[in-house]
A and B are shown apart, each in its own frame.
Chain A
Amino acid sequence: MNPYYAGVLLGVTLLLSYLILGAGLGASSGVARVGAYMELSVAPARTLATEYFGSWGEQPLQYYLVFMLVGVFFGGLISALLANRCHVRIERGVKCSSKKRLIFALAGGILAGFASRLASGCTSGQGLAGSAVLVTGSLLFLICIFVSGYSIAWFVRRQWDD
């Protein structure tokens, strides 16, 4: 799809989210709440006693952004299936081993998960939703993502063919 059309579709979705829900799009909260749910099922008392996850109560999945994340998965699935883009594989450069690529994905995931809690949002909640309503901190967050991304890109280029 022409990326600008995809961008308009994404922008209209974001606008509808603000007009219907009264809040922007978000993804990382859903991910974190799945984490809280997992901890709760293993060690409920300990998890409820922690300050951050504990504040979400005993039902962390009863939250609109969890449902939104489920929607993102199914929306992606529908679109990928229709366009025949759904294939099980590890995406990497030809010269990079699968193991190395997965280690990068895991480490990147840990950093992104941690940072999205610290900043109360990720590329969706802060980068898109916060920036679209011109919130100072969200615009700064978006700028910082790219400043950091471009400075580190060279060091991790080997996992692609760059």
Chain B
Amino acid sequence: MIDTFFGNGTLDTPAAFLASLLIGIAFGVALEKAGFGSSRRIAGIFYLRDMTVHKVMFTAVVVAMLGICYAKAFGLVTGENVYFLPTNYAAQIMGGLIFGAGFVMSGWCPGTGAVGLASGKVDALVFLFGAIGGSMLYNEVYPILDPITTGDQGVIFAFDSMGVSEAGFAFFLTLIAVGCFWGAEYIEKKRHGKGDLWGTPFLKAFSVVLVLGAFGLFAVAGQQPVSTSVASKASPETAYLEDLQAGLDHMDPQELADRLLAGDPSITLVDIRTPREFAQFHIRSALNIQVSDLPTLLSPHKNQGLIVLYSNGMTHPAQARDSLFRLGYGNVYFLTDGLKGFLNACLKPISLRLEPVSSVLAFKINAWRAFFLAPETPASDPKIISNSSTAVDISNLTIPGLVETDWLNMNLGKSDVKIIDLHAQSEYNSGHIPG
């Protein structure tokens, strides 16, 4: 397996920045050489005037895809050392539709816009300012888009979605690409009366090379010995996906809270956020492990009891679970709706809830609050002992676990009183208790 920057968690180091800069330069050269320093040429694709965009994009996708498929087959690339983008159907379909409109209106996209700017195109500069503005706009409306952005499905591959083998799908996509090349050349020939490459020995040879390259994937995939590789584990993979569909991959906040409260020893709770966030607040009894260290540090718990991962949201735990599954972990779960969901579902005071709460749930909420909001080791904290006369120790409040406004006023500003605002960020911004 290759030691990638992502794989060893060093994507934020100067070495990775330098590598990114160099790869960016190659990226810029390729785009410029393809003719993408011209918006008129890029937009030509939408008027069937100039099919360069299809030819370049499809070639690049197929070349990189074949390269990665071979790299996977030889074990150089796995889900551990490469970052795969998660799928979110609603966000990506809506994003694609809006992006397409922006693309055809401006004739640019962010990458080609940078190349256009380098080529002296004023419209590219204006486009980039627009794109910066569009990103700022997104930041402003982000809280409203919550229902869309949280609909993350984790990493899904098209061949799994369609229930075919990876090699089969790659071969199919290569055939489509080659078909598109010939179609694109034909369209240009019809439009301009000249097809530079239609029927040339070059296009024939290029097509044959790509198809043979894709065909070779079957041979490589077939040779793969029965190992821990994903491709060869058809039945566990299917079972895994079935679990995913049935929602057996995650644990509800209430269930987790109940089990932790009951002291269930089988649960290993893991917080995969940064140590800083962990230090600010974490669910009681959680361990703090960074994603890259999960395989090493969780190995004692492999298929022993239940491992529950959580972060602020669900994306990273879901990706981590996926990755651990590939390493043979069959006992990893993640917390539904993440830490945010846990705070909302279990620890939000009853008085702040919009929906009515049954008496059973109310009792539970108070018990959870008393358990999870209490300091983990009260006796070892000298401040709490010294202030115990003013009844600051929250664990003394226990049920009902709610504090009176007067008490809060009295104790505001004391360093050992933590006020946790459970509202959404937007509500928090518009008004919260100081501290």
Contacts and interface: CB of A to CB of B under 8 A. Distances in A.
A89 B103 CA distance: 20
A10 B27 contact: yes
Contacts of B103: 108, 112, 123, 145, 149
Given A15-B63, A124-B109, A135 B25 contact: no
Counting contact residues on chain B (CB < 8 A from A), the size range is: 35 or more
Given A8-B63, A52-B139, A104-B105, A34 B132 contact: yes
B107 A127 contact: no
A23 B68 CA distance: 12
A31 B138 CA distance: 13
B24 A68 contact: yes
Interface in B35-92: 35, 37-40, 43-47, 49, 52, 55-65, 67-68, 71, 76-77, 81-89, 91-92
Q: Is the interface of B mostly helix, strand, loop or mixed?
A: helix
Contacts of A95: none
A90 B157 CA distance: 41
A74 to B, nearest CB: 6
A35 B133 contact: yes
Interface residues of A, number: 124
Interface string A61-72: 011110111111
Contacts of A21: 4-6, 11, 16, 19-20, 23
A45 B370 CA distance: 33
Nearest to B184: A3
A108 B105 contact: yes
Contact of A73 (B19, B91, B115): B115
A31 B106 CA distance: 16
B99 interface: yes
Contacts of B34: 1, 3, 6-7, 10
Contacts of A143: 96
B27 A13 contact: yes
Interface stretch (B120-128, B239-247, B299-307, B377-385): B120-128
Interface of A: 1-25, 27-28, 30-32, 34-36, 38-39, 49-54, 62-65, 67-80, 83, 85-93, 101-102, 104-150, 152-153, 156-157, 160, 162
